[in-house]
Amino acid sequence: MAKHAEATLDTICNTLLSYYPDAKVDLVRKAHEFASHAHRNQKRSSGDPYIIHPTEVAQTLAELKLDIPSIVTGLLHDTVEDTDATLEEIEKLFGRDVAELVDGVTKLNKITFKTSEEKQAENFRKMVLAMSKDIRVILIKLCDRLNNMRTLEHLSSAKQKTISQETLDIYAPIANRLGISWLKIDLEDLCLRYLHPDAYYKLAQKVSKKKTEREDYTDEVAQILHEKLGEYDMRATVSGRAKHFYSIYKKMERRSADFDQINDMIAFRIIVENITECYKALGVIHATYKPVPGRFKDYIAMPKANGYQSLHTTVIGPHGERVEIQIRTQEMHNVAESGIAAHWKYKEGKFDSSSRENIEWVHRLLEWNKDLLDPNEFMETVKIDLFAEDVFVFTPKGEVRELPHGATPLDFAYAIHTDVGNKCVGAKINGKIIPLKHRLKSGDTVEIITSPTQTPSKDWLKIVKTSRAKAKIRAYIKTQERDRAHQLGKELLERSLKAFDRTIAKAEKSGEMLRAGQDFQVRNLEELYIAVGYGRILPEQILDQVVPKEEREAIRKARKDADKEEAPSFLKKVFASAQKRSPTKNAIIVSNLSDVLIRFGRCCNPLPGDSVVGFITRGRGVTVHTATCAKGLDNDQERRVEVRWNIQEKGNIVRIVKIRVVSIDQPGLLALMSQTISACAVNIASANIRTTKDKKAIALFEVQVPDTGQLQKVLSALEAKQGVILVERVRS
């Protein structure tokens, strides 16, 4: 690690002007002044004035050739978090762009990584990216972290370890993904120094002690390789470089061996003209030196996630030592050095749709220092929504969960556990209670509130976003409906059997029931009852099998004789509740059955004359909707049963229907309308009238009618009256 010269306002401005000659440095000066003032009473742990830190961060950003807003943000990045300065103030003085960047960095600083589990680290890295909608936020954060790492010696050992671990788990991999390899290397070596100081200093000592020896060795091997390739008329550049500490350390760890050999510190690089030459060079090397088995890697055919391409091999070199060699083209070398994140999108597998844009900006990231004089132009292209399709949220324990964009607390609950989802009644986000349909944002801490009495509802399907949650809710609803159909089917059968002095229990025990079911391709009794509940099998059909025809005839005959026999108490109960719900008895026939509890959908309020469908519902019985009712169509079609109006009951049926009459406001209106309705021999259950500002009257009547024909008469009679604008039947 090179010792860095102290950054000052002047070094920042000079660096900026070196790649952006037209830069207006006034804003940078103003930001430096603002930050100096804001941090005037603060000191770094080292005892230095605080302003040194943001100045260093801004300097690194300038060295990365970033734009003015990024450099200004580098200077301001800690002011909102650590001083009295506010975002409003910063927006006023430095503009919207800077204010947004400062806000982005401040938000990133607030999240702390809590576990060191590998998968969590990966999710956390994604979250950091997701929270930085602007790539510059990440770059500023990386430079901030680099300076923090460089000044870590002044902190307590515990803090050194925590910050280093976080840097190693989160920020170094992000730098690697962005392809900024020098930043990754610096961060990793600093982490090693604090996480494993013994190993670090031992390595440092060995490397410096063998400096001359190392350089001699490097020159010698590079020369030999160059000559060998020359023998095959290949033009190649060969060089050797010392590997960074952390990579040596990792290698030692992998081999669980101590580090001693000079050749372990060095990697050789052969740069040739094209891909064919790469493989040719590999051939020459392998023909000359014996390759170490299992050490050859073809990153040309299979590039690394960040776009890195090379051939890697290890051979037994001129002195019988292992020599690591990388072979690549100049173009591959540029990518490896300058950084490319193009293929990182492919790795996540989620950017296919937008990858064109992403690839474009990455290409520009590679080339911008060549072609673009105005970095602003470049920066416009990097303001992309990274991971726009995902949100990353915390569990109360600090674990990170990945959910699709637009996900709600219900999705989160089902992601935790099906039971948590099924029992979810509410959620807290960052400690505040929010509605279930609330959309989660990256960085939210989500706590699910459950209740043992809660059950999933159909409406949840409209709220949830993940297929997992949808599947679980559907499965629950389906099970519920099956349970209900099961219950209903048993009831219907029990009732039918009881009329012939049988019970389900007896028929089950004797095996009659199962035999009866075999005719209908059901596998077991449960399926049989469900089929009856859903109306696919009629109780009569089962009855045919269980009670012999002769026996039924005999019983029926006996019944006729004892005409006054009381109805079973069960039936009485059903009728009683049916009557309570509807003034109409036996208005509907369900699949040739009688005595089924009927309810009418309040949404469409069917009338005799309307074509109708029935649905087996929760609780017992069947709900009747008009054939066109949207709510009816919404129902699970599996629960659908055939229903029709009972023509024999015609004359006994009376249904209450609402009608609305809009007319011009005139005296005596209500009386006139009431007379008109009564004249059709129809009773009025209630009447209500209100007038509007534009001199209209809206009347609402509840009338008792036997069927649609009678209703139509009433509607027509009202329509015919003078001053009436509109007459309609109200559904719902």
Among 78, 186, 444, 494, binds Mn ion (CB under 5 A): 78
* Cα 317 off chain centre by: 52
- Strand spans (E) along 154-256: 237-242
Find the shortest distance in angstroms from Cβ 147 to Mn ion: 7
Distance CA(342)–CA(279), nearest Å, equals 24
Helix axes of 68-76 and 375-382: crossing angle, nearest 10 degrees? 70
Find the shortest distance in angstroms from Cβ 483 to Mn ion: 59
Find the shortest distance in angstroms from Cβ 10 to Mn ion: 21
Closer residue to Mn ion, CB minimum distance, 78 or 97: 78
Q: How many CB atoms lie within 10 A of CB 5?
A: 8
Q: How many CB atoms lie within 10 A of CB 211?
A: 10
Residue 201 tokens read as 């200093």
Helix axes of 52-63 and 135-150: crossing angle, nearest 10 degrees? 130
Q: Is 100 in the site for Mn ion (CB under 5 A)?
A: no
Distance CA(477)–CA(647), nearest Å, equals 35
Q: How many CB atoms lie within 10 A of CB 206?
A: 16
Find the shortest distance in angstroms from Cβ 144 to Mn ion: 4
Binding flags for Mn ion, 609-648, as an x/- string (CB under 5 A): ----------------------------------------
Part of the chain binding Mn ion (CB under 5 A), chosen from 70-78, 189-197, 571-579, 648-656? 70-78
Closer residue to Mn ion, CB minimum distance, 144 or 444: 144
Q: Which residues are catalytic?
A: 81-82
Find the shortest distance in angstroms from Cβ 413 to Mn ion: 36
Part of the chain binding Mn ion (CB under 5 A), chosen from 91-99, 138-146, 189-197, 617-625? 138-146
Which residue in 15, 1, 111 sits closest to 57, CA to CA? 15
Find the shortest distance in angstroms from Cβ 42 to Mn ion: 11
Radius of gyration from C-alpha coordinates of the chain = 40
Residue 444 tokens read as 């939210």
Q: Binding-site residue total for Mn ion (CB under 5 A)?
A: 2
Helix axes of 467-498 and 409-416: crossing angle, nearest 10 degrees? 80
Find the shortest distance in angstroms from Cβ 8 to Mn ion: 18
CB 702 within 8 A of CB 658: yes
Residue type, 85: A
**Please, which residues have CB within 8 angstroms of residue 225's CB and are 6 or more apart in sequence?**
238, 268, 270, 285, 325
Closer residue to Mn ion, CB minimum distance, 60 or 663: 60
Closer residue to Mn ion, CB minimum distance, 59 or 635: 59
Closer residue to Mn ion, CB minimum distance, 149 or 543: 149
Closer residue to Mn ion, CB minimum distance, 142 or 284: 142
Q: Is 144 in the site for Mn ion (CB under 5 A)?
A: yes
Closer residue to Mn ion, CB minimum distance, 78 or 188: 78
Part of the chain binding Mn ion (CB under 5 A), chosen from 142-150, 391-399, 432-440, 503-511? 142-150
Sheet holding 598-600, edge to edge: 598-600, 622-626, 612-616, 640-641
Part of the chain binding Mn ion (CB under 5 A), chosen from 143-151, 200-208, 332-340, 720-728? 143-151
Find the shortest distance in angstroms from Cβ 68 to Mn ion: 19
Part of the chain binding Mn ion (CB under 5 A), chosen from 35-43, 74-82, 272-280, 570-578? 74-82
Residue 67 CB burial class (10 angstroms; 0-12, 13-18, ≥19): buried
Closer residue to Mn ion, CB minimum distance, 78 or 481: 78
| Half-sphere exposure for 217 (CA within 13 Å, toward CB) | 21
- Strand spans (E) along 574-723: 588-590, 598-600, 612-616, 622-626, 640-641, 643-645, 655-664, 683-691, 696-705
**Eight-class DSSP state of 304:** -
- Strand spans (E) along 171-294: 237-242, 266-272
Give residue number: closest CB to Mn ion: 144
Find the shortest distance in angstroms from Cβ 79 to Mn ion: 10
Find the shortest distance in angstroms from Cβ 80 to Mn ion: 11
Closer residue to Mn ion, CB minimum distance, 70 or 422: 70
Q: Can you give 509-551 as a three-state secondary structure string?
A: HCCHHHHHHHCCCCCCHHHHHHHHHCCCCCHHHHHHHHCCHHH
Distance CA(330)–CA(346), nearest Å, equals 23
**Please, which residues have CB within 8 angstroms of residue 581's CB and are 6 or more apart in sequence?**
599
Q: Is 166 in the site for Mn ion (CB under 5 A)?
A: no
Site for Mn ion in 344-373 (CB under 5 A): none
- 447 forms beta bridges with 428
Part of the chain binding Mn ion (CB under 5 A), chosen from 136-144, 232-240, 613-621, 641-649? 136-144
Part of the chain binding Mn ion (CB under 5 A), chosen from 73-81, 127-135, 339-347, 382-390? 73-81
Closer residue to Mn ion, CB minimum distance, 36 or 545: 36
In the complex, which residues of this chain contact Mn ion (CB under 5 A)? 78, 144
